Chain A
Amino acid sequence: MQETELIEAASKGDLNSFNHLVLQYQNLLYTQAYRMMGEPDSAEDLTQEAFIIAYRKLHTFRGGSFKAWLMRIATNLCYDELRRYKRRPVTALDPLDQNQEEIESPHWLTDPGESPEEAVERQELANAIQDCLNQLSPEYKAVVVLVDFQEMDYSEAAQVVGTPLGTIKSRLARARTRLKDCLLGVWELLPASLRLMRESEL
């Protein structure tokens, strides 16, 4: 069954058809939520909520990219949740990564003046990247996740975020610059090919 047929059936109340779409996009939405929220529990809740909202609001979908429409719902939910966090910050005492393992050196426990030698103690590159992502504002985070993690083009990202193409371009540049600066601290965790590139330049 084609995606358009599934969407049409789901909009008429066929939950099974919608669940086919859920299976198709759940990893994408969960990745987006996890990258933006930085922890699995919120990501799970938001992903589920996004699908529920999508099902209920499916009659408002006017064609175009269903993927972008879904991602927009998830991204907006993440925005709202991050704003809520900002008003009432919550810090888990035992932060877990995506593998449900304890993060030994989350960014809020690290010294701001962390040296590259201390940063190499990080054991997982993914966690380091996530930590850097978490330092971005929600708007920058959303764009860089959409374009660099989800590999969307600018127009799709603009559709998801609901901003003009120029805004996407500038937000992405700033996000990448900040991530570059952040990742310099964990350079030893980078893959050998990238690290060698850097060292050869130095």
Chain B
Amino acid sequence: MNDQINPNDWEALSAYLDGQLSTREQNRLEKRLRSDKFLNTALLDLQKVKTLLRSQPMIKAPRNFMLTPEMVGQKTASRSKINIFGNLRMASILATILFLVVFLGDLVFQFSQPIPMMVAQAPAKEVEMLTVESRDDLGAGSEDESLEIFEAPEAELPEEAEFEAEAELAIETDIGIMTESETEDQDQKGEVKKPRPTATILPTEAADLVSEYPITEERDDLEFPPKENFQPSDSSYPIREAAWGFLDWVKLLLALIALSTGIVYFLLKSRKVP
């Protein structure tokens, strides 16, 4: 039968079964079908094949083919991104905490550190002025010899009396403190530096100290400073002023930026999580 029907006829028959022929082609084929037995049998065979194939049920998938993030490489990519970001985030948090600790520690240290008080030697002129003031405070007509003004310059003092004179001056005037290095500098250079303006005891207090500890001939037992009577107060025990330089402001700004970035990220992330 196949030999008697050419490929064009098979194609026409197949299309006829599916209703894919034009009206003209369809009429012409139907006319041939009424007269051609082989063509009619071929049409029936094709129709049975088509019916048979269409009667086959759709095969049920043996398993679920739903995709997982791993299958499409979604999770791998996002995980690596998250890992990198997470590591950076952790590092930045640690760096911020460390930075804040250092920064705050520095601030606390700056504000709380007292300036050490040390014996200092004032310039001769200042010593004179302050001694006069002290004497005036105590009373101009005082006859106490211990309050005599020492005008002798340091260089003119004999060597063995030098220390005593220094102590005397310190007690009488108590104008300031010099560090050991400063004292050494002074000795070496032979000149007197100005005392540091901080940590001074007021002349009135100096006078009190003088009155309590009158200067006598024997000064070896003199305790300086008089610890039991030395009461540090706000004025006599000053705190160094915090000098905020440019770098301090930059540090504070960086800390605030780091903190605010972390907070903003945390808020954004917490909003995304359902």
Contacts and interface: CB of A to CB of B under 8 A. Distances in A.
Interface of A: 13, 15, 18-19, 22-23, 26-31, 34-35, 40, 44, 47-48, 51-52, 55-56, 98, 126, 129, 144, 147-149, 151, 153-154, 169-170, 172-174, 176-177, 179-181, 183, 190-191, 194, 197-198, 201
B233 interface: no
Contact of A177 (B10, B18, B41, B55): B10
Contact of A30 (B11, B65, B71): B65
Contacts of B63: 44
Nearest to B55: A191
B59 to A, nearest CB: 4
Scoring B18, B58, B65 by chain A CB atoms within 10 A of each residue's CB, the highest score goes to B65
B45 A40 contact: no
B8 to A, nearest CB: 9
A23 to B, nearest CB: 7
B223 to A, nearest CB: 84
25 contacts: A15-B67, A22-B64, A23-B64, A26-B61, A26-B64, A26-B65, A28-B58, A30-B65, A31-B58, A47-B65, A48-B71, A51-B65, A51-B67, A52-B67, A149-B54, A173-B7, A173-B14, A174-B7, A174-B11, A176-B50, A177-B14, A194-B48, A194-B51, A194-B52, A197-B48
B18 A144 contact: no
A154 B46 contact: no
Contacts of A44: 62-63
Nearest to B17: A176
Given A22-B66, A173-B13, A194-B48, 10 more contacts: A15-B68, A22-B64, A26-B64, A27-B60, A29-B61, A35-B59, A52-B71, A129-B53, A177-B46, A180-B46
Nearest to A165: B20
A177 B2 contact: yes
B49 interface: yes
Contact of A176 (B46, B67, B71): B46
